[in-house]
Amino acid sequence: MARMSQQPTDGKIVVDGIDKRFRSESGPVDALRDVNFAVEEGEFVCIIGASGAGKTTLFRIIAGLEAASEGTVWLDGEPIEGPGTDRGMVFQEYGLFPWRTVLKNVTFGLEERDLDKQARLQRAREMIDLVGLDGFENSYPKELSGGMKQRVGIARALAVDPEILLMDEPFGSVDAQTKQRLHEELLDIWSATNKTVLFVTHDVDEAVTLADRVVVLTGSPGSVHEVVDIELDRPRSRTDDAFADYEQQLRDAIE
Amino acid sequence: MSIDTSTDSESGLFADKELVASGRRQRLLRGAAGSAVFLVVWQIAAMPVPTYLLPTPLEVAQAFAVELTAPAVFTVPLLDAEIGLTRMLVNLSDSLYHYIPGLFVGGAAGIAFGIALGWSERLDDAITPVQRVLRPIPPLAWIAFAIVWLGVNHQGAAFIVGIGAFWINFYNAYAGVNGVPESTKEVAASLGVDDDLTMIRKVVIPRASPEIMTGIRTSIGQSWMIVVAAELFGAPGVGFQIINAAQNLALDVSVAYMFVISIVFLISDGIFQRVESRVLVWRE
C-alpha cells in the first residue's frame, strides 16, 4: 500500500481497485478483480450477484476480516486494515453468543468501552426496543426464532453506534413473511438512525425493496458490472410495474 | 449422560407434567424391581458359599455399619493433628487427601494447557509430538516416578491422580477451544475485541465451557478409579482397605468399601451435574 495514498473520490465508503486472490492447491484463484464503487453517507446500498461472484469475499474485505490482494477500502478517508466498531456487522447465521442472554449479547460491544454499567444497560435496552424485542432481554438465543435472532444481531451491531452497518445476507435464513417484516423494520431503523447501510444479497426482490442503489457483481473473478439507482419512493410495492422493471433489469444484469 | 431430561421441561402443559410424573413413577418402580431382583440373586448365590468367597448383601450391610461407626483416629497429614472419626471416615479422608489435590491441580493444569494449545497454533505445533507420545501412557505407569520422587504416600498417590486428571481435562479443553467457530471470534473482533486475552476470557472459554465441564465431570469419576489403583501400591485409603480386607479374608469389608467409592462418586457426580446444568443453561 502506497504510504501517501489518499482516498481517490468522495464518499463514506470508497472501494478502490480491490483484487482478491486466494491460494489453493491448484494454484491461485481470482475471486475479485478491480472492484470499484463508492457509497455516500446515509445511503442504503445493496451488493448483488450470483453465487461465486465474490459478494461474501468483498463483504469480508470491507469488514476487515480478510485482506485485499490489491487496492484499498476507505472509510471516512481512512484505509480499512482490520475489523472495528466503526462497522457494525450482521451475519447470515446471526453469530450470536449462545451463552449470553439477549441483553448481554447487545451489551457485548459496549463492555470494551469506558462506559459505566448503567449507561451500558440503558443503551442496550434502547437498541432492544428499537428492534422490537423488549420483553426478551433475559432470553437465550436458543429460545428465539430465526427472525428474532437476527433482530438481536442488528441491535448488537447498532449498540456500538457504528458509522456504517454491514449486512451479509442477513435474512437469508428466515421465511418469506418474516423477511418482509424485517425489511420494513430495517428501513425504519435506517431512517431513525441515519446509518449508511451496505447490504449483501443474492435476492433481486430484496435489493429492489431496500436499496437506493444496487451494485451488481458478475463474473469470476467478480467485478462491478453495473450500478443501478432504484428511483422508487418508499414504501415500495412489489406490484408496481416500475418495481418489476427494476427486478428484470437486475436479473438481466446478473446473468 | 443425560438421564433425567424430563425434569427441565418447565414450559410443559399440565397434561405434560402429569405424563412426566407418571413416567417418572414408572421408572422408579422398574428401578426398584430391578434392584430387588439383583439383591435376591446375589443373596441366593452367596448363601451356599463362605463369606471369604462371596459375602451376602446382609453381611456387607453389617460390615458397612461396623466400619461406619467403629471409632478411629485420623492423623491429619502435614499438620500432625489428630481427629477422632470412625474407621470408614478415616479411610475416606485418607483417600480424599490425595484425590482432591490430584484432581484440582491436575485438572486445572490440564484445562490451562488445553486452552493454551487449543488457542495457539504455534504452541500446538511445538508440543503436539510430545503430547501424542505421552498421552497414551496410563496414569498408573507413572507410579515408578511417584515412588522414587515422592514415595508411596499421599503425595505419590496425588501425583498419579493428577496425571490422570490432567489428560482428561487437557483433551476436553483442547477440543472445546479448537471447536470455537472462527465466525464467533470474528463477530467479537467486529465488536471491538482486539487482544488475545480478552478474546480467550470473553469468547473462547464461555464457548468451550460445555467441553471443559465434560472434562471436569469425567475426571471426577475417573480419578476415583485411579485413587483405588494407586492405593493398591500401599497408599492409605479406601482402595487400600479393599485389598487389605480381602487379604484378611474379610470380603464383606472389602465389598463395603467398594460401595463407599460408589456412594462418594454418585454424590460428587450428582453435585457436579447440578453445577453443570446451572452453568450451561444456555446450551441448546
**Of B101, B52, B103, nearest in space to B225 by CA:** B103
Q: What percent of chain B has pLDDT over 90?
A: 68
- What does the pLDDT look like over B239-271, one tens digit per residue? 999 999 999 999 999 999 999 999 999 999 999
Q: How far apart are CA A241 and CA A69, in angstroms?
A: 42
Cα separation of B57 and B255, whole Å?
A: 9
User: Is the pLDDT score of B92 beyond 70?
Assistant: yes
Q: Determine the pLDDT at residue A11.
A: 86
Q: What is the pLDDT of residues A194-231, one digit of tens each?
A: 999 999 999 999 999 999 999 999 988 888 998 999 99
- Asked whether the beta carbons of A159 and A183 are under 8 A apart, the reply is no
> Distance between terminal CA atoms of chain B?
15
Mean pLDDT, to the nearest integer, of A46-68?
91
DSSP secondary structure letter of residue A30: E
Give the three-class secondary structure for A8. Answer: coil
Spell out which residues of chain A touch residue B283, defining contact as CB-CB under 8 Å. 98, 142
Alpha-carbon separation of residue A219 from A34, A59, A226, B183 (angstroms) = 12, 17, 12, 27
* Cell of residue A29, nine digits: 484463484
- Between the alpha carbon of residue B234 and those of residues A192, A206, B25, B147, the distances in Å are 75, 74, 45, 11
Query: CB burial class (10 A; 0-12, 13-18, 19+) of residue B107?
Result: buried
DSSP, collapsed to helix, strand or coil, labels residue A77 as coil
User: Do the Cβ atoms of B187 and B137 come closer than 8 Å?
Assistant: no
Mean pLDDT in chain B?
89
* pLDDT digit string, tens, across residues B154-177: 888 999 999 999 999 999 999 999
**B224 φ/ψ angles, rounded to the nearest 5 degrees:** -65, -40
Nearest CA in chain A to B186: A65
pLDDT value of position B14: 62
Facing residues of A18 across strands?
A35
Q: Is the pLDDT of residue B64 over 90?
A: yes
Distance from CA of B94 to the nearest CA of A (A): 39
Instruction: Give CA angle at B265 (B264, B266), nearest 5°.
Output: 95
Q: Would you place residue B8 in the very low, low, confident or very high pLDDT band (cuts 50, 70, 90)?
A: very low
Query: In angstroms, what CA-CA distances link A93 with A17, A156, A173, A182, B75?
Result: 29, 14, 7, 15, 60
Please tell me what DSSP assigns to residue A68.
Answer: -
Look up cell 466400619; give the residue. Answer: B67
CB contact under 8 A, B282 and A63: no
Identify the residue among B8, B11, B190, B194 best suited for mutation to test binding to A, counting A beta carbons within 10 A and taking the highest. B190
Separation CA B132–CA B128 (nearest Å): 6
Closest C-alpha to A182, from A150, A139, A205: A150
CA–CA min distance B10, chain A (Å): 13
Probe site for chain B from A90, A106, A108 (most B CB atoms < 10 A): A108
Q: pLDDT band at residue B234, thresholds of 50, 70 and 90?
A: confident
Q: Are strands A196-201 and A44-49 parallel, antiparallel or unpaired?
A: parallel
Please report the ipTM that was assigned to this predicted complex.
0.89
